[in-house]
Amino acid sequence: MSKSERKAVLLRLDPAIHDALAQWAADDFRSVNSHVEIILRDALKRAGRLPRDTAPLPRRGRPRKDEASGG
Cα-based angle 56, 62, 68 (whole degrees, multiple of 5)? 95
CB-side exposure of 40: number of CA atoms within 13 Å? 11
Task: Work out the pLDDT band at 6, boundaries 50, 70, 90.
Answer: confident
Write the pLDDT tens digit of every residue in 17-71.
Answer: 999 999 999 999 999 999 999 999 999 999 999 999 999 887 777 777 876 566 5
The structure's pTM equals 0.75
Task: Work out the pLDDT band at 1, boundaries 50, 70, 90.
Answer: low
